[in-house]
Chain A
Amino acid sequence: MIIEIEKLHLFYTEFHALKDVNLSIPEKSVTAFIGPSGCGKSTLLRTLNRMNDTIPGVRIEGKVELQGKDIYSSELEVEYLRKRVGMVFQQPNPFPKSIYDNVAYGPRLHGVGKKSELDAIVEKSLRSASLWNEVKDVLKKSAWSLSGGQQQRLCIARALAIEPEILLMDESTSALDPISTTKIEELTRELCRNYTIVMVTHNMHQAARISDRTVFFLNGEVVESADTQMLFSNPVDQRTEDYISGRFG
């Protein structure tokens, strides 16, 4: 288990958004968070790389451990954590720089300066994100000139360039067309051989297609967490069954 979450509570000022979450996430696999809108999936995802720290009024209780180390302890630098836990957002958010500079942004932050090294990292990351063939001749072009699906794969490449152990993806295909979605789904399966992937999705078929484990949320609580096949074929909890058979949400 690469991530262990114990008795996690999260408050947005007064609002109790996560209630007593206990969860383990296995290494080198795809874990999907599903559940109706507003149930706290993004919130939990963002506690894993401490992106909630940037929101004023957030209070957290409980423990989140990454490979046995508490990520909220004061000894751990948040920048170091985020280097190990990468994130891809719902909307593609490439920087207004060239394709090359987008991918090189992270490595440069963390001290890689040599051109040859950067070149290698950029190529490797773009290949991993299966974007290399489309952009290898236009690396100097602005990233904003790419299509939405290409931009999202660029964001994946950008996240991979700092060689994280974990990749968080928050509904990263919801703004994309079916073909781009399929590409990113295939990519996810590809990547989970080397990375631990945690994704939020609204699309239950997507969760069923590409995840190894699925976690079902309702009102800030984990209702059920199981192997994807088990959860979809044999849900234990009545509420899970209602949700996956489309009776609410």
Chain B
Amino acid sequence: MNLPVTNKQGGPPGKSGKWGKHVIEEARGRAFVYFCVLLMVVTIFSIVFFIASRGLTPFISQGVSVKDMLFGLKWKPEGNPPLFGALPFLFGSFVTSVLAALIAAPLGFCASIFMTEIMPKFGRTALQPAIELLAGIPSVVYGFVGLSVVVPFLRDVFPGQGIGILAGAIVLSVMILPTVTTIGTDALRSLPSGLKEGSYALGATRWQTIYRLILPTALPSLLTGVVLGIARAFGEALAVQMVIGNAPHIPRSLFESATTLTSIITLEMGNTTSGSLHNNALWSLALILLLMTFLFVFVVRMLERRVKR
């Protein structure tokens, strides 16, 4: 960026050495940072471009209509004629993620409140590391645990095989609990300390302060955690795939098997040849996932804007 470096080195003697070094270091640092940023931007745009170009092909040149894909109920890519109804997958992804968030949100909020308001010391030394550990467990392990603990449990207690929407949602809820809790805890810790004092000074008890003041104030930040959790759940493939049953239809109960966008992609990707209609249709599903992610990021941004005000 800054070529004048060489000029300056040729400046007045004595000072020039020091000056030059400064400027070179500055320029080097800058160049490095710009390079990294450029690399990142290029990578992101190439990914988006690649997915979009593949994912749009079925609609543009292979005669599949957007409406059929979004609202169609039958997925028979090798059939005659081939059918590309992705609604069951969309439905499965949405229901499992939202259900997971509904389970994880109250638990995560409670954990955050416990760690900041009720037992800050125990929370910081014991609970927080445990939750961070939870975040580091690989998803295949979650899937395995889900398959050997959650599924048999559901099978014993409820009608059906145990595998299905609810099993997926439960496994996902444990996986996104760290996200919800960590973001919630940060939000509660960063509340101005004067707020709580103000409430106590008016004669509020701790619980009154928590649910009349702290929760409403931190709600947008807490919801940010939930939305990020949903986003993670939406994109998770492996663990869900292991417990959901992978049946491409819209289930009528929580205990019926179903499938998600991510699992259909991972399951079918290997059996298709690049450039075929089937392969491109899977890219369309990937494009839908990407657009959903954008939507989640947008919602988080909106929530953050509300926090700032």
Chain A interface residues toward B at CB < 8 A: 49, 51, 54, 79-83, 86-87, 89, 91, 93-97, 105-106, 108-110, 142, 155, 158-159, 162
Contact = CB atoms under 8 A, between A and B. Distances in A.
B279 to A, nearest CB: 52
Nearest to B193: A93
A79 B205 contact: yes
Contact of A79 (B203, B216, B309): B203
A91 B204 CA distance: 20
B202 interface: yes
B50 interface: no
Contacts of B199: 95, 105
Contact of B203 (A54, A82, A89, A155): A82
B197 A89 contact: yes
B200 A95 contact: no
Contact of B202 (A86, A94, A97, A142): A86
B177 to A, nearest CB: 27
B198 interface: yes
Contacts of B195: 93, 95-96
A51 B203 contact: no
A96 B203 CA distance: 18
Contacts of B201: 49, 51, 82, 86-87, 89, 159
Contacts of A91: 194
Given A79-B205, A80-B203, A109 B212 contact: yes
Which 4 pairs across A and B sit closest by C-beta, in order of nearness?
Answer: A93-B194, A83-B203, A82-B203, A87-B201
Given A51-B200, A142-B309, 18 more contacts: A79-B203, A82-B201, A86-B202, A87-B201, A89-B197, A93-B194, A93-B195, A93-B197, A93-B198, A95-B195, A95-B217, A105-B213, A109-B202, A109-B208, A110-B203, A155-B198, A158-B198, A159-B201
A97 B195 CA distance: 11
Contact of B200 (A80, A82, A108, A159): A82
Chain B interface, DSSP helix/strand/loop, else mixed: helix
Contacts of B198: 89, 93-95, 155, 158
Contacts of B79: none
Contacts of B203: 79-83, 106, 109-110, 162
Interface in B192-226: 192, 194-195, 197-205, 208, 212-213, 216-217
12 contacts: A49-B201, A51-B201, A82-B203, A83-B203, A89-B201, A93-B195, A93-B198, A95-B217, A105-B213, A106-B202, A109-B203, A162-B203
A80 B202 CA distance: 9
A162 B199 CA distance: 12
Contact of B213 (A83, A95, A159): A95
Nearest to B204: A109
Contacts of A108: 212
Contacts of A86: 201-202
A105 B201 CA distance: 12
Which residue, A51, A80, A93, A97, has most C-beta atoms of chain B within 10 A?
A: A93
B154 to A, nearest CB: 42
A141 B65 CA distance: 49
Contacts of B309: 142
Contacts of A93: 192, 194-195, 197-198
Nearest to B194: A93
A58 to B, nearest CB: 14
Given A96-B217, A109-B208, A82 B197 contact: no
A70 to B, nearest CB: 18
A51 B197 contact: yes
Contacts of B205: 79
Interface string B153-178: 00000000000000000000000000
Contacts of B208: 109
Nearest to A92: B194
A80 B205 CA distance: 10
Contacts of B194: 89, 91, 93
A43 to B, nearest CB: 14
Interface in B261-309: 309
Contacts of B197: 51, 54, 89, 93
Given A93-B195, A105-B212, A159 B217 contact: no
A40 to B, nearest CB: 19
Nearest to B191: A96
A97 B213 CA distance: 9
Contacts of B202: 82-83, 86, 105-106, 109, 158-159, 162
A108 B199 CA distance: 12
